[in-house]
Structure 1
Amino acid sequence: MAVETKQELNPKTTHFEFSGPVGAFVLTFGLPLLVNVLCVCCTKEGCSLAPSHIIAQWKKTPFLTAEVYKVYLLWLAALALADLIVPGQIVDGTELRNGQRLKYKFNGTRVIAILGALLLSRGVATNWQLPELQFIYTNLTQLANASIVTSFAISTYLYISSFFGNKLLALGGNSHNVFYDFFMGRELNPRIGKLDLKLFLEMRPGLLLWVLIDLAMVHHQWLTYGRVSASIVLVTLFQGYYVIEGTFYEAGLVSMIDTTLDGLGFMLVFGDISLVPFTYSLQTRFLADNFVELSWLQIALITGVYLLGIAVFRLSNNEKNKFKQGKTNPGEYTYIETKTGSKLLTSGWWGMARHINYTGDWISSWAYSLPCGFNLVPYYYVVYFGVLLVHRESRDEAKCAAKYGETWTEYKRRVPYKFFPYLL
Structure 2
Amino acid sequence: MGKNNDTKQGRFRLIFGPIFMMTFTPVFALTICAGCLRGSLASVLDDVSRSSNDSGSPLVKFFTAIGLAQGLGSPTAWTIFVVFVASQLIVLKCVPGGEEEGVTATGRTPVYKTNGLASFFLTTTGYVLLSIVFGLFPATILYDNLLEILWVAEIASIVLCLWLAVRKTSKPQTGTGTESANEQISLLLKFYWGREVHPSVMGFELKQVTNCRFGMMIWPLIMISCMAKQWEIYGYISNSMATAAFLQFAYLTKFFHWESGYMRTLDMMHDRAGYYICWGCMFYVPSIYPSPAMYLVRNPNSLPTLVVAALVVSGLLCVGLNYQADWQKQEVRKSDGRCLIWGEPPKVIRAKYTDENNVEHSQILLVSGWWGISRHFHYIPEILASLIWTLPCLFESGLPYFYVIYLTMLLIDRTDRDDRRCLNKYKSYWKKYTEAVPYKMIPYIY
Structure 2 equivalent of residue 353 of structure 1: 374
Indicate the SS of the match to 2:237: coil
Q: How does 1:401-420 map to 2 (within 5 A)?
A: 401-420=423-442
Q: What displacement does 1:52 show?
A: 6.7
Select 2:121's aligned residue among 113, 118, 122. Answer: 113
> Using a 3 Å threshold, how does the CA distance of structure 1 residues 270 and 102 change in structure 2: closer, same or farther?
closer
> Using a 3 Å threshold, how does the CA distance of structure 1 residues 149 and 84 change in structure 2: closer, same or farther?
same
Contact 2:128 2:139 in 1 (8 A): no
Q: Does 1:328 align with 2:332?
A: no
Q: Hey, what's the Cα distance between the residues in 1 that align with 2:224 and 2:266?
A: 31
> Using a 3 Å threshold, how does the CA distance of structure 1 residues 147 and 361 change in structure 2: closer, same or farther?
same
Aligned residues: 406
> Using a 3 Å threshold, how does the CA distance of structure 1 residues 261 and 175 change in structure 2: closer, same or farther?
farther
Structure 2 equivalent of residue 7 of structure 1: none
Q: Hey, what's the Cα distance between the residues in 1 that align with 2:365 and 2:117?
A: 32
Indicate the SS of the match to 2:99: strand
Q: Hey, what's the Cα distance between the residues in 1 that align with 2:36 and 2:111?
A: 43
> Using a 3 Å threshold, how does the CA distance of structure 1 residues 420 and 138 change in structure 2: closer, same or farther?
same
Which amino acid counterpart does residue 347 of structure 1 have in structure 2? S
Deviations 1:235-294 (A, max 9, x none): 111111212211111112332222222110001111111111121111111100111111
Q: What displacement does 1:329 show?
A: 4.7
Q: Hey, what's the Cα distance between the residues in 1 that align with 2:44 and 2:138?
A: 31
Structure 1 equivalent of residue 18 of structure 2: 24
Select 2:404's aligned residue among 372, 382, 390. Answer: 382
> Using a 3 Å threshold, how does the CA distance of structure 1 residues 50 and 215 change in structure 2: closer, same or farther?
closer
Is the deviation greater in 373-382 or in 413-422? 413-422
Q: How does 1:245-260 map to 2 (within 5 A)?
A: 245-260=254-269
Q: Hey, what's the Cα distance between the residues in 1 that align with 2:245 and 2:418?
A: 31
Structure 1 equivalent of residue 155 of structure 2: 149
> Using a 3 Å threshold, how does the CA distance of structure 1 residues 95 and 70 change in structure 2: closer, same or farther?
closer
Select 1:370's aligned residue among 369, 372, 391. Answer: 391
Q: How does 1:210-289 map to 2 (within 5 A)?
A: 210-289=219-298
> Using a 3 Å threshold, how does the CA distance of structure 1 residues 151 and 234 change in structure 2: closer, same or farther?
same
> Using a 3 Å threshold, how does the CA distance of structure 1 residues 280 and 120 change in structure 2: closer, same or farther?
closer
Deviations 1:24-69 (A, max 9, x none): 1111222211221122223555344986766666445562312322
Q: Hey, what's the Cα distance between the residues in 2 that align with 1:304 and 1:115?
A: 26
Which amino acid counterpart does residue 371 of structure 1 have in structure 2? P
Which amino acid counterpart does residue 201 of structure 2 have in structure 1? I
Select 2:352's aligned residue among 336, 339, 343. Answer: 339
Q: Does 1:393 align with 2:415?
A: yes
Which amino acid counterpart does residue 101 of structure 2 have in structure 1? D
Contact 1:133 1:212 in 2 (8 A): no
Deviations 1:329-382 (A, max 9, x none): 596122222234322222221111110001111111111211100121111011
> Using a 3 Å threshold, how does the CA distance of structure 1 residues 152 and 256 change in structure 2: closer, same or farther?
same
Contact 2:379 2:411 in 1 (8 A): yes
Q: Does 1:198 align with 2:210?
A: no
Which amino acid counterpart does residue 322 of structure 1 have in structure 2? E
Q: Hey, what's the Cα distance between the residues in 2 that align with 1:58 and 1:297?
A: 42
Select 1:136's aligned residue among 138, 142, 145. Answer: 142
Q: Hey, what's the Cα distance between the residues in 2 that align with 1:343 and 1:96?
A: 16
Indicate the SS of the match to 2:100: strand
Which amino acid counterpart does residue 184 of structure 1 have in structure 2? W
Q: Which ranges of structure 2 fall in alignment gaps of 5 or more residues?
A: 1-7, 49-57, 354-361
Indicate the SS of the match to 2:378: helix
Q: What displacement does 1:17 show?
A: 7.5
Structure 2 equivalent of residue 170 of structure 1: 175
Which amino acid counterpart does residue 369 of structure 2 have in structure 1? G
> Using a 3 Å threshold, how does the CA distance of structure 1 residues 52 and 393 change in structure 2: closer, same or farther?
farther
> Using a 3 Å threshold, how does the CA distance of structure 1 residues 143 and 87 change in structure 2: closer, same or farther?
same
Q: Hey, what's the Cα distance between the residues in 1 that align with 2:35 and 2:300?
A: 17
Select 1:42's aligned residue among 32, 36, 42. Answer: 36
Q: Hey, what's the Cα distance between the residues in 1 that align with 2:138 and 2:200?
A: 31
Contact 1:21 1:177 in 2 (8 A): no
Q: Which ranges of structure 1 fall in alignment gaps of 5 or more residues?
A: 1-13
Contact 1:40 1:57 in 2 (8 A): no
TM-score with structure 2 setting the length: 0.84
> Using a 3 Å threshold, how does the CA distance of structure 1 residues 115 and 172 change in structure 2: closer, same or farther?
closer
Is the deviation greater in 253-262 or in 25-34? 253-262
Q: Does 1:423 align with 2:442?
A: no
Contact 1:355 1:419 in 2 (8 A): yes
Contact 1:44 1:290 in 2 (8 A): no
Q: Hey, what's the Cα distance between the residues in 2 that align with 1:381 and 1:95?
A: 29
Q: What displacement does 1:419 show?
A: 1.6
Q: What displacement does 1:136 show?
A: 1.4
Q: What displacement does 1:324 show?
A: 0.9
Q: Hey, what's the Cα distance between the residues in 1 that align with 2:264 and 2:142?
A: 34
Which amino acid counterpart does residue 175 of structure 2 have in structure 1? A
Q: Hey, what's the Cα distance between the residues in 2 that align with 1:17 and 1:300?
A: 49
Q: Hey, what's the Cα distance between the residues in 2 that align with 1:148 and 1:212?
A: 19
Contact 1:189 1:198 in 2 (8 A): yes
TM-score with structure 1 setting the length: 0.88
Indicate the SS of the match to 2:173: coil
Structure 2 equivalent of residue 104 of structure 1: 112
Indicate the SS of the match to 1:104: strand
